[in-house]
Chain A
Amino acid sequence: NAGVTQTPKFRILKIGQSMTLQCAQDMNHNYMYWYRQDPGMGLKLIYYSVGAGITDKGEVPNGYNVSRSTTEDFPLRLELAAPSQTSVYFCASSSREGEKLFFGSGTQLSVL
């Protein structure tokens, strides 16, 4: 079972570059989320989606964009990367609201 798949696993960006972090789940979950984890900290919610075509901001959305054109995919777009976006990014999904999250393996991003 693939579960939640994130790509890439590692990436180094230069300041001002853009990139898209890919996330796909094969569990037919309606709810999907993007979190970031800074060193020594817990996870903070960037964006979430409750279904295809519906997205909303989380706690730290600035500098990011998302789209949800299908149930399976929830890409996260970084525009004009900044050093403050150096972090580990986790995509997650859940079958129902308030249910446990299934996490991807994470993407370690460095902006230099």
Chain B
Amino acid sequence: AQKITQTQPGMFVQEKEAVTLDCTYDTSDQSYGLFWYKQPSSGEMIFLIYQGSYDEQNATEGRYSLNFQKARKSANLVISASQLGDSAMYFCAMREGWNSGGSNYKLTFGKGTLLTVNP
């Protein structure tokens, strides 16, 4: 089973509107972390936001917020007031703890969602 699922291969949004990018995850660990990265067409990977499994508040970073629903195992990225420069590929990733038999050291990535912001 996939550990990270991003069900939206592509999304479109009008400039200045908000958009939600979906991410669901699968883990039996109690301690884990969720990350979102942005990859523009230039190819670099840019860290956006992080949510720890024990964090009680949803993470926010400027126009980015993470809608963390632990019981549903979802960690959706919300981008408010979309800008043309937000057009990019967005990846959700998870870091699991020791109990999973995996390692704290590495991230597992989803397949990504391509966001296009229309003027």
Q: Which residues of A contact B (CB under 8 A)?
A: 31, 33, 35, 40-45, 48, 50, 58, 88, 90, 92, 97-98, 100-103, 105-106, 108
Contacts and interface: CB of A to CB of B under 8 A. Distances in A.
Contacts of B109: 35, 42-44
B47 A101 contact: yes
A3 to B, nearest CB: 10
Interface in B99-113: 104-112
Contacts, number: 53
A93 to B, nearest CB: 11
A31 B105 contact: yes
A31 B107 CA distance: 12
Interface in B12-45: 33, 35, 43-45
A44 B110 CA distance: 9
Nearest to B43: A106
**3 tightest Cβ-Cβ pairs between the two chains A and B:** A42-B109, A103-B45, A97-B104
B8 to A, nearest CB: 13
Interface string B85-119: 00000010101000000001111111110000000
A108 B44 CA distance: 12
Contacts of B47: 100-102
Contacts of A88: 43
A105 B105 contact: no
Nearest to B110: A42
Nearest to A92: B45
B105 A97 contact: yes
B77 interface: no
Contact of A42 (B95, B105, B111): B111
Contacts of B4: 42
B50 A105 contact: no
